[in-house]
Structure 1
């Protein structure tokens, strides 16, 4: 492991030392109370090692390039989970991304810019390393960790890519106000999918002072409301322009609703966003989404409308989202256009035996101009062959209606084996 990675891992613990004092105080009473029932022996005896191997072949045909990209990658993950003693537990996880065969694609790190991008840089990285404490409705974690909020539209782990996005900091989740759950995290570093090392194209890390605040309220068994505030203050990086660092500093406030009126279901969200920190931008943009679905027994059909608005020539930003889940799987809109984007979409999913089938159609246009961006069709077939082995075939094709974007076709074959 590179010296830089050792330094980053050490920083995970040292930067959280102050918060660690809180953990010591919280756990002191638990040690006295539970010491007769739990101990170091159980901490070790209940520990386990897990292995997860995910192979993926990704093909990209993009009109802007003379060559097609073909990426054959393997993510190998080893996870060590401790048992629990006095409410304390530890998790460590290491990922390695390797190439099988030629790297005929632009990983953002290998310099193969004649090919379309497949953002899976190779390397080895500590994916998670945290100390946790749980008791009486409280869950606390300090260190490098996975954080997924709601549907991951604003905060997520981008688990689709081989190198997952994880977060360095401290997180508290409290369920003591049932039916309300309070979730707060202070994050000083984001380990992005472009790591483990910085590249000429993208920084591998975003450092800064970030606060994730979310309150989930179970209104009823089939209805949930979330209120959130995501305050991002990302440091400038001298080697990259502000659009790849500090100008992603934003304050976002919003709410999210999900409910079921069987056989119908409804999702709705609204958020406002403004520039923050040392960002050189000056804007106030809006986000909203409405989606309805109906369960027809043999399949589920849905229709939705999502808008990321624009103000003063700046589009609404979601830099920490699991972006692949939204606005089409071809990933043409990972960065919101300056004139915003409207996405009308419909889809259906169902099963053919053990295989889950999905299909979606999108129409994209600008929110604050008359530009038509294009349309997209996405399809997927997922087969859990056994409890340990699964396979998925995925396809996306984007048909451009604007010179700002190009026709794009992508195919993925994923094989995953867990031990």
Structure 2
């Protein structure tokens, strides 16, 4: 587990490598504070979105028009130091989807579109690169690791997930990256702030030009992660290993592969019921700009009492885009899915089909079951310029077996159809 007090040890190690000539020299610096500012770059964007939700158990459909505004600037380096500052505003352009009562006094008649209005600091951090091949980042920041299954920024939602803390990244070893992080506050995509005690140890080595192996440890000393997992203390640790990437067959064809395994256990007083495994295996084939692959992802169950959770993840791409399983059911999750996509000129095409089932059988009003449902996801984007993109997306979830011990109405997953139209401009 990484703590801020470990930095002097890390600095001493890197300084020794530098003295031995292992590390390269620092990059060119701005000559003044003014130059650092004017030679910097914008980290700004507008994202206008229409989201439609038709949910089986809601009387009304949601028709949400929202606008995300990010305004920010990243300075050039001066004395090996740069600063990034970014503000965020999420505005509702209509009110035909948002229950201002938040369901406190009555059930909402509208499906949830979890994009609350906020104005806040989205990112504010200092980067220090005075130790060669190393970057130290302190402050509020976005973190994306691997495929964001364990740590991500929930980039799809209008409000990002951001972390307050310290990240140290080092590239001293050839074809490798070592990352340590410690974070003490978290703003979720719902706009809710949480105190946390979250540590990351992450090592990645590129064994082929397009493939890498990653070993990781995530340590969450946080009793309340905001997930309804059925245990009083959600503190846990994840230790895992991941192989992922592409192997070129010839200039046109390539094999795609993913193999990953992780174990989640109790940590720092977490519930003894926290004991579950995660696995993913996938194989695919790419031809020029086209690809197709088949994957299976399993979030295991501990005898139906607890299932593998990823509370710091970008959850939207997993188990389908309809976001029906942001918390893994206690019976676990087996997601078998097929993905097909391509980039043709300025067009970006992506489609997925998911079959979702339990890791262990669950009880239904008429017996036992294992199928949660299935989902079809479609996306079509057009990149007008490097800065401007338009995208259409569609997700349809349909339930199979009814999940629940006695009452289907209170525990089942409703059928849902969602669609999005998004315009993104970055500057």
2:342 to 325, 347, 350: 350
The C-alpha deviation readout for 1:300-323, integer Å capped at 9, x for no partner, is: 111111100010410100001110
In structure 2, the partner of 1:251 is 237
CA–CA distance in structure 1, aligned partners of residues 29 and 400 of structure 2: 69
In structure 1, the partner of 2:138 is 142
CA–CA distance in structure 1, aligned partners of residues 386 and 358 of structure 2: 43
Displacement of 1:81 in angstroms is: 1.1
In structure 2, the partner of 1:393 is 392
Aligned CA distance change for structure 1 residues 166 and 264 (closer, same or farther; 3 Å) = same
In structure 1, the partner of 2:423 is 415
Asked if the contact 1:206–1:245 (Cα under 8 Å) also holds between the matched residues in 2, the reply is: no
CA–CA distance in structure 1, aligned partners of residues 230 and 194 of structure 2: 9
Aligned CA distance change for structure 1 residues 24 and 124 (closer, same or farther; 3 Å) = farther
In structure 1, the partner of 2:364 is none
Q: How does 1:302-381 map to 2 (within 5 A)?
A: 302-312=293-303, 313-369=305-361, 370-381=369-380
More helix by share: 1
Q: How does 1:178-257 map to 2 (within 5 A)?
A: 178-195=174-191, 204-236=192-224, 243=229, 247-257=233-243
Asked if the contact 2:199–2:220 (Cα under 8 Å) also holds between the matched residues in 1, the reply is: yes
CA–CA distance in structure 1, aligned partners of residues 44 and 374 of structure 2: 39
CA–CA distance in structure 2, aligned partners of residues 123 and 68 of structure 1: 23
Q: How does 1:111-150 map to 2 (within 5 A)?
A: 113-134=108-129, 135-150=131-146
SS at match of 1:371: strand
2:413 to 389, 405, 414: 405
In structure 2, the partner of 1:74 is 67
In structure 2, the partner of 1:275 is 266
The C-alpha deviation readout for 1:119-156, integer Å capped at 9, x for no partner, is: 10101010100011114110110010111111101000
Give the aligned length.
390
Displacement of 1:353 in angstroms is: 4.3
- For structure 1, which segment, 145-154 or 288-297, has the greater mean C-alpha deviation from structure 2 after superposition? 288-297
Asked if the contact 2:46–2:69 (Cα under 8 Å) also holds between the matched residues in 1, the reply is: yes
Displacement of 1:60 in angstroms is: 0.6
CA–CA distance in structure 1, aligned partners of residues 175 and 101 of structure 2: 44
CA–CA distance in structure 1, aligned partners of residues 171 and 118 of structure 2: 38
CA–CA distance in structure 2, aligned partners of residues 266 and 374 of structure 1: 26
CA–CA distance in structure 2, aligned partners of residues 107 and 126 of structure 1: 23
Asked if the contact 1:236–1:245 (Cα under 8 Å) also holds between the matched residues in 2, the reply is: no
Asked if the contact 1:234–1:246 (Cα under 8 Å) also holds between the matched residues in 2, the reply is: no
CA–CA distance in structure 2, aligned partners of residues 377 and 155 of structure 1: 25
Aligned CA distance change for structure 1 residues 113 and 42 (closer, same or farther; 3 Å) = same
Length-normalised TM-score, structure 2: 0.84
CA–CA distance in structure 2, aligned partners of residues 297 and 385 of structure 1: 21
Asked if the contact 2:179–2:201 (Cα under 8 Å) also holds between the matched residues in 1, the reply is: yes
Q: CA RMSD for the aligned pairs? A: 2.9
The C-alpha deviation readout for 1:146-189, integer Å capped at 9, x for no partner, is: 11111101000001000000100001001112232110000101
1:40 to 33, 37, 44: 33
SS at match of 2:44: strand
Displacement of 1:244 in angstroms is: 9.5
- For structure 1, which segment, 102-111 or 273-282, has the greater mean C-alpha deviation from structure 2 after superposition? 102-111
SS at match of 2:178: strand
In structure 1, the partner of 2:151 is 155
SS at match of 1:44: helix
CA–CA distance in structure 2, aligned partners of residues 333 and 340 of structure 1: 10
- For structure 1, which segment, 399-408 or 340-349, has the greater mean C-alpha deviation from structure 2 after superposition? 399-408
CA–CA distance in structure 1, aligned partners of residues 29 and 82 of structure 2: 17
In structure 2, the partner of 1:7 is none
CA–CA distance in structure 2, aligned partners of residues 342 and 368 of structure 1: 9
In structure 1, the partner of 2:51 is 58
CA–CA distance in structure 2, aligned partners of residues 107 and 324 of structure 1: 24
